Every structure is written in C-alpha cells, then in structure tokens.
Chains A and B, each alone.
Chain A
Amino acid sequence: MAPLEPYEQVLIDDAYLEEDPHAEITCEQCHGGNPRATKMKAAHKGLIPDPTYPDPSKACGECHEEIVANNKTNVHVSLNPYKHTIGMRVSTKKGTRKKVFRAMDTHCSACHSSCGQCHVSRPDSVEGGFVEGHLFQKTPPMDTNCTACHGSRVEMEYLGKNQGIPGDVHYTKEGMQCIACHSGEEMHGMGKDYTYRYDVENAPSCEGCHEDAVSPTAKTRTHRIHKEKVSCHVCHSVAYKNCYSCHVGKDKKGIPYFKTEKTDMAFKIGLNPHPSKDRPYKFVTLRHVPVSAKTFEFYVKDGLTNFDALPTWKLATPHNIQRKTPQTKSCKSCHGEKDLFLLEKDVKPEERGANKGVIVPDNAVPR
C-alpha cells in the first residue's frame, strides 16, 4: 500500500470538527503540545502523536472503559503470542536472551496496533496518516488498516492477488470484509493473556457459520467422513505463500533492515502441531514462517539455540477458501497424493529437528 503524502497524513477534515463527537475534546487534552504557540516547534513541544499507545486509559478510558480494560492483553497490542513463540527458541543464557529481545524490540515489536492505529490512523508500520481526516472509524477499513499489516499473506490470498490463484470465495462471491468474521470483541480481547494466537476463544471458526457442514447428518458425505480428521482448509484452500529465513540487522547509517531469502507458493498438509478442543484434527495446512536459526545473528551469535522447540512449518488458516479445489475432485486427489503432504524431503536438513512433529511419515500418508 502506497503511503499517504506527508501533508495528507496530518490534515484534519472540517467534517471532523463539525460531525465527530470526539472533536468536543480539545486537541491538547489527548495529544499534549501547546495550542497557543504560533511556531511548529513550540506547538509540538511535549506532543504525543498516538495518545492510545501503549496506554489508552487517559485518551479513551473515560468513555470506553471496558475495551480499554482489556488493552494490555489484546494480542494486537501486546504481541504476546509472538514474543512467547520467539522466546521459546531463544537460548537460556540470560545475556543472550537480553540481546535477542532487544533486537526484537528494534525490529519486530514495531508491528503492533493501538486504538488510534485502527480507528483514526493507518498503522505506524505503513507510515501512519489519518484514514479520513481524523474522523474516528467505528469499523477500521479493511484496505487501509487490516491489510496494511496483514498484507503479504492474508491480503494477497483473500483478494486473489497471487498470480493464477483465485481469491477467497467469501470475498469474491460475497464481498465480505474482515469484520464479517473477525469481530470487534475478538480484536479488543477478552482480558485473557494468550500465548498462542489460535487459542483465542472468540476467534472465528468455519463451523460458526457452516454448522450443517460438520453435523453428524451433514449432507456432504466427505464432510461426514473427514470431520475431526482434517481441518476445513485441507480440502478447501489452495496454494498460499511461505516465507523463509528472515535476517535482521542495521545498515551503515544505523537504520534497521530485514532480509528474507525467498517466498514461494505451496500447499502442504502436515500433522497438527497443536491439537485442541476447537482444532482436534490430525491433518492441517502448514505454512513456513520466515524464522531461521540465524535470524538475530547480526546482534548475537547462537541466539536461537532452542530453535527446534517449535516447527518452522506452522499451523495455518490460509485465507483463500474455495468450494472446489484440486483436493476435492476425487478421493484419489488427496489419498496417496504424496506431493500434497509435508514429507521429510520437503524440509531443509537443518530444520528437520524442529519439524519432526509435523512432517508426515511416508507410511502415514492416507492411502
């Protein structure tokens, strides 16, 4: 997404002053600064560009008390599952852990959200800027906010931007926006501190809408047969993006950079790394995440010595659902079709240890 022109990023629309109830609050009440100063530098002294991060209680809490109360455990703000996941791979040496977490703060933790970065501005990670002249958006727009961060995978899949691969049927046929499945309640959190994003209790599920598809009397025979054995995505999604080997560091000017080795489009079924009440399946779709044992090598040698603690092929819910896919053509489209499964040969030798729990042994490929 192209960033806004710098002036557009901070241009307040007259409609905000005339229509938005938030305009009854003066600028300095939320943003600080000096509204009587006539020079920019003096006016911006003590300015708080985003008064909702990290603590929105002063700016939003007076009116939106319940939502603000859950802010600390909101995964879009805390990034807790992400920190936990990387944390599991990090060396147990105290000094090394400190260096890795400091590098994460520099590179990874910038990708968070806040009340303001959903409801007023674009996220900072895409250079920010008002969505609509500072008018508060009850529902954050999909194109300027959700996919601003969830772009290279979710957006490309959902909208069908990956060459030759159709967009998600929920979008192409029904025009459903993110909010149709991902409610405000899910986005704001429930006050529970999750360490794994797929544990979020009020996250959407296919069965939430397609109840009949998984009932014991489901009309479709294959649904009755495969229920609880394979996730919906195993049959109803198509090739999706996998990323590999992200390295972070700082350039000669001291500006942080990242480098990912490659991306590819692939579809891989593997063993479920995290069976749960909501996802009891034996087989699920897996996506390669860009982590590598040397991701933080610029900052510290042997930072991720517990690299094998988690797979690099992770449970995925690709956003490119189709009613008919190559897998749904016939039984034999999947049964015995080894190319669809994550086999040992598909995994780099140095990552086989990490993925031993998700690699499908040759004799376990359904016949």
Chain B
Amino acid sequence: MVRPKGKGVWYLWVVLIVFIGSFLLWGNTNSVQSQEESTCISCHTSVKELVKITREIAAKSPPQQSAENKGEG
C-alpha cells in the first residue's frame, strides 16, 4: 500500500521538474529566437545593408553642423 504511493509521488516530481525545465528552456530560446527573427537584428548586424541605407540617408539629409562654427567648443 505504501510503496505504490511513494513511487507515484516520485513520478510526480519527475514530471514537475521536466515541465519546469522545459518551460524555462522554452522561455530562453524564445527570447533568443525572437531577437534572431527581428528585422532590427538582421539589418543592424549586416555591414552591407547598413552601408547602403546610411548612404541613402546621408544623401537626403541636410548638414547637421553649421559651417559658421568657429573656435573651440
């Protein structure tokens, strides 16, 4: 009578640990995965892409600093 009950509790613990472990692992991989899938990351880790885009922006943008600046700031 006692033995099956003890075994049942043991199984329950194993199931619980596996469940919590999977949950934590899922949470972690999910965060990394979502970063990898993000266009922010795919664009901001690509030199080629950034060079292309920043050149386009620079061609359209007005100068940021005045040519009349004179002396030390």
Contacts and interface: CB of A to CB of B under 8 A. Distances in A.
A interacts with B: yes
Interface of A: 5-7, 9-14, 17, 23-24, 26-28, 31, 33, 35-38, 40, 43, 127, 152, 241, 243, 246, 249-251, 253, 255-263
B64 A127 contact: yes
A262 B72 CA distance: 8
A35 B66 CA distance: 35
B44 A12 contact: yes
Contacts of A256: 66
6 contacts: A11-B45, A12-B41, A26-B31, A40-B53, A255-B62, A259-B71
A13 B65 CA distance: 29
A6 B58 contact: yes
Given A6-B54, A11-B50, A33-B40, A259 B70 contact: yes
B65 A17 contact: no
Given A12-B45, A27-B40, 14 more contacts: A6-B55, A6-B57, A6-B58, A10-B50, A10-B54, A11-B50, A26-B38, A33-B40, A255-B63, A255-B65, A257-B69, A258-B70, A260-B70, A260-B73
Contacts of A261: 71
A48 to B, nearest CB: 13
A35 B37 CA distance: 8
Is chain A's binding surface mostly helix, strand, loop or mixed? mixed
B54 A27 contact: no
A163 B37 CA distance: 53
A347 B44 CA distance: 54
Contact of B41 (A17, A24, A36): A17
Contact of B35 (A17, A38, A253): A17
B22 interface: no
B25 to A, nearest CB: 14
A255 to B, nearest CB: 4
A27 B66 CA distance: 33
Interface string B46-58: 0100110111011
B1 interface: no
A250 B65 CA distance: 11
B64 to A, nearest CB: 7
A43 B67 contact: no
